[in-house]
Structure formats: C-alpha cells, structure tokens
Amino acid sequence: MTSPANRDLSRAARLSVAPMMDWTDRHCRALHRLLSRDTLLYTEMVTAPALVRGGALHLLDHSDDGPVALQLGGSDPAELAEAARLGAQAGYDQIDLNCGCPSDRVQSGTFGAVLMRSPELVADCVAAMRAAVDIEVTVKCRIGVDEQEPREVLPDFLETVSATGCSRFVIHARKAWLKGLSPKENRDIPPLDYPLVHEMKAAFPHLHISINGGIESLDEVQQHLAQGLDGVMIGRAAYHRPWDILGEADRAIYGTDHGLSAEQAVQEMLPYIEAHLSAGGRLHQVTRHMLGLFAGRPGARGWRRVLSERATRDGAGTEVVELALSQLTEPA
C-alpha cells in the first residue's frame, strides 16, 4: 500500500468523488477504486463525537490502496483534533472538515453549512486539526448560507481559514438554505454560481481550489481544469454512472489507463464480496452501489433488476452477481 506521505494529493484532487451520506461507504469506495486508481475518494461524513465520545472506530475501516480522504463533522476544536489523529492513524491521506452539509441533524450539532456563519470558529478547528496531524487538512464549504451575500462572505471565509495554513478548499458552488429546504432540495434548487468559484481562484491563486455541484461529465471536469481550477469534485453522477465517470477518469484526467472494463471490475469485486459475506455481511450492502455500473448499456435494466430483486434475499451470494452479469448484451 502506498504511504499517504508519498502520494501527490494535488494531482489526485484533479478529480474527486464527493462525500455522500449513505452512499460513499467502504463498499462503494472498493468499487470506485477498481474503476479509477488515481481519483481522490472521500468517506461519508463521520462525526467527531461518534469517534471520540462514541468510540465508533469501525467507521474508519478501509482497505484503499489509492488516495482517500476522511471527512469529519464537528465544531469543537479539541474533539476534531482527536478525531483527526484517529483518522491519520487509520491511514487516511487527508482529513476534510465539513462546512457544507445543510441537514437539520447536522445543524443541531452546530456543524456543516451553518459553520459558514463562523469563519473564526472554523479557523480554530482547522488550526487544532493541523496541529494534531502531519497529513493534509482541507475544508469543503458552500458559497454561503441563507441571506448571506456570497461575494462578500466567501472571500472572508477563505482568507480567515487559510490564515491557519490550510491551503486546500472544495467549494460547492451553491448557497445552502438552512431552513425551508431539505438536503435534497439544497442540492438542486439554489442556483449554481460557477463563475464565483473561478473568481476565488483568481483572488487566491496560492490556494488549491476545487469546484463541486451539478457537474455531470468528464468533459465538464476538463473545462473547469482548463479554466484554471485545481480540481473538480463530482457527486451523484459518479455514483449513478460510475463507469462513465471513473472508468474513463484515469485516461482522460490523469493520462494513465489500467484498462479495466466494467465487466472486469465486477469480476474483481467477487473476492471482496465473498470476504464480506464470510464476515457476516449481506450481498445487497455491496451490490446496491453497483446498480449503475452499466448505465446506458444494452442489458443494464436486467442487471439492475436481478441485483435489486435477489441481492436482499437470505443467503444471496456471488451467484446473484454472476446471473446479473449474464443479462448484459454486447452493443450491436
């Protein structure tokens, strides 16, 4: 396994897969890593209290041999510092602080997007985390929340937090509305402001800035990179169409190509699935992340149907995956 200290995170972060609650768990990342060796992957958000007070260290389990970031949620500097230490010990390449999630549950813990209102507190948290670990500490944020004027608050946020020495930010190019919109609506309704994120790169050229929000294709990724941004983060498109995004990413974004087809990726997942089942896991816990692997391909509906109907059954094993794979047909 490559040591985090020896990885080029600036290169890896040219493309990253967003942290997505209930989606980017270790099983999802196992699939995504097979599709792309180079893309920077993120965990789901893990709360610092769960690790430090709850002792839920199983949330840190991973076996990734590529660049991977642990995203933490919290607002207590000492607690975040301890959680960051635990993440570093678990072998993560970087620790990211969530300043973008708008859910009520997150707000009640005084973290997530609500922290956009408290850049000094974010700076204190980041400073404590940086002092606790030798790996990169980054921040994922929004352009603002509620009635804030993004062109006023975002530069102040970046200046205040980067004064701690934090040099890498992922900016979701939508404002978050903390009241009145659900987390799902917050991913769709507030308008995207890509130009503002590009303006922030021009205003803070020394910072590594990635853009997030509504990006659907590698062509769009390349456009943002060509316009001067350091990285692009893709969320739902990478999850729902993993081959379209990650299967082509190493070649298109990094200039490398390990030549693994979607079918080969499924075959490579079988030993992983068998190990998970042997440890008492259930098939659908892994295969639910694989439903979109053949999106747009002949037979994709049959692939999804077999996995959806059979993977949840008691005793379901890799024979279900093999049967689903047999539903695929080659393009004419």
CB atoms within 10 A of CB 138: 22
Residue matched to tokens 């270790």? 26
HSE-CB at 160 with a 13 A cutoff on CA atoms is 17
Backbone angles phi and psi of 229, in degrees to 5: -70, 155
Backbone angles phi and psi of 22, in degrees to 5: 70, 0
Written as one string, the DSSP assignment of 77-138 is HHHHHHHHHHHHHTT-SEEEEEE----HHHHHTT-GGGGGG-HHHHHHHHHHHHHH-SSEEE
Length in residues, the chain: 332
Measured between alpha carbons, how far apart are the two ends of the chain, in Å?
41
Catalytic residue among 99, 101, 125, 141: 101
One-letter amino acid at 314 equals D
User: Is 101 tagged catalytic?
Assistant: yes
CB-based burial of residue 192 (10 Å sphere; 0-12 exposed, 13-18 middle, 19+ buried)? Answer: middle
Looking only at the bridges linking them, the beta strands covering 40-47 and 68-73 are parallel
Identify the bridge partners of residue 141 per DSSP, sorted by sequence position: 99, 171
Task: Calculate the CA dihedral of residues 69, 70, 73, 77 and round it to 10 degrees.
Answer: -100
Coil, strand or helix: which one is 260?
A: coil
Q: Do 17 and 242 contact (CB within 8 A), yes or no?
A: no
Q: Write the CB contacts of 144 (distance below 8 Å, at least 6 apart in sequence).
A: 116, 150, 153, 154, 175, 176
Catalytic positions: 101
